[in-house]
Structure 1
């Protein structure tokens, strides 16, 4: 029986409206070689403002992670909010999967938007991409802020049960970060939040998994 209502799709539409109301518009760029990048860009780029690039972490798409803070940044910055590859509407047919490749694609996207200088904020996995952008494109990246991104972690921090004894392998990390069942989503939330939501109905969690 087909679903008559999707909480996730409804919330996604609300976020889309919120981004548009804040002064952004949806834009899709073909980088060639099988790579498509989606990004929320200013309806009108103001040359007198600095450019701020917001890079999301693991999750549905950029809207779900940055919706609440966009209005605070818009008065002072030209805000760009891309979907990283394999999130939202961005994808590639190429085999590369590293944060270095993600960084190169994001920079190519910004070049296509005629943006040559930017400040960058990266959240979680997006922090690794932001760090890679700063390392690869020093002349183009200004200020960098990393949130919840363990860019200094080494393999021994996991293997020897150091400060990050949560997973024991890459496979287990992927299972936690990309949950495929409501139970796995609850585990991820428990690891991610100081005070997890008291109730997460399985029907909502399954809808989220199926939507993204």
Structure 2
């Protein structure tokens, strides 16, 4: 039987070309103790531009989640896009799996690049890392954007029925899908309007390219997020923060966005994107970019202004 053409591998090559064409180059930073971080950095640093760090979620490596945003962001910022540990070419021999350790590694990459101050955007799991970076290295983070990042969740929320699953193992079955059936289930959970049909061959190809490698380690990352998590342990941050959430997010329900807004109080602003699920970077990338750009560029747009969603107050 003929082998199915690898659409995922072709996309991966295209994204590499796209990042390079936008003005970024791949680098690796050896942080010691068996930890190596891969990061896309500017080919030519421009001192007159502010810095911007983009942190991806669990779905795939950094290129897959940020490709639609690279060209417009590079036009306004010196952009840094790392692969988090166990994604792309980033890995560690150390046993740590927490977002605290991920954030420390990201800080190490920025320091190696001579970046001491930056804006940060994190989506989903990347938002956990972004929040930890802001808490641990407050002098490094200028403004913070958190997209569908359930940093305010508690372990008991799953038992209380907030999520469509009852256990972390059940969540992992579609967060890190290993069969075409589970991948299709993942799309139904992550997207408000998922792709209705996907050939099994294409689905298996995506799994082989994106979710087979470092499966055990990525599983550990998810367990580290949930285990013994309590709101009382969540550190406070003082940086201006924009919270962006999909109206119909099933992975991290919107209630967690409101909870985060209350936690940040006047330092946070919540925007809810209509008719959208968890994967806002894929379902509504233009609207997501519009809010991020306005928050990071417009000096008059501060978190203390009215929170809005499509022109309506949400909090």
TM range (shorter): over 0.9
> What's the CA shift string for 1:130-172, capped at 9, x where partnerless?
00000000011110000011111122321111xx322222222
User: Distance in 2 between the 1:78 and 1:131 partners?
Assistant: 20
User: Distance in 1 between the 2:163 and 2:53 partners?
Assistant: 31
Structure 1 match to 2:117? 117
The within-5 A match list for 1:48-59 is 48-59=48-59
Structure 1 match to 2:133? 133
Structure 2 match to 1:171? 169
Structure 2 match to 1:194? 192
CA RMSD of aligned residues (A): 1.3
User: Distance in 2 between the 1:130 and 1:60 partners?
Assistant: 17
Q: Is the 8 A contact 1:59 1:87 kept in 2?
A: no
Deviation at 1:4, TM superposition (A): 6.6
Q: Is the 8 A contact 1:179 1:185 kept in 2?
A: yes
User: Distance in 1 between the 2:45 and 2:97 partners?
Assistant: 31
Q: Is the 8 A contact 2:53 2:81 kept in 1?
A: yes
User: Distance in 2 between the 1:211 and 1:3 partners?
Assistant: 14
Structure 1 match to 2:280? none
Normalising by structure 2, report the TM-score: 0.65
Deviation at 1:195, TM superposition (A): 0.4
User: Distance in 2 between the 1:38 and 1:165 partners?
Assistant: 33
Deviation at 1:76, TM superposition (A): 1.4
Q: Is the 8 A contact 2:4 2:201 kept in 1?
A: no
User: Distance in 2 between the 1:176 and 1:211 partners?
Assistant: 16
Consecutive unaligned residues of structure 2, counting only runs of 5 or more, are: 211-315
Counterpart secondary structure, 2:127: helix
Q: Is the 8 A contact 1:122 1:130 kept in 2?
A: yes
Counterpart secondary structure, 2:143: strand
Alignment coverage as a number of residue pairs: 210
Structure 2 match to 1:40? 40
Q: Report runs of 4+ in structure 1 exceeding 4 Å deviation.
A: none
Counterpart secondary structure, 1:74: helix
Consecutive unaligned residues of structure 1, counting only runs of 5 or more, are: none
Deviation at 1:30, TM superposition (A): 1.0
User: Distance in 2 between the 1:94 and 1:166 partners?
Assistant: 33
User: Distance in 2 between the 1:210 and 1:123 partners?
Assistant: 23
Normalising by structure 1, report the TM-score: 0.95
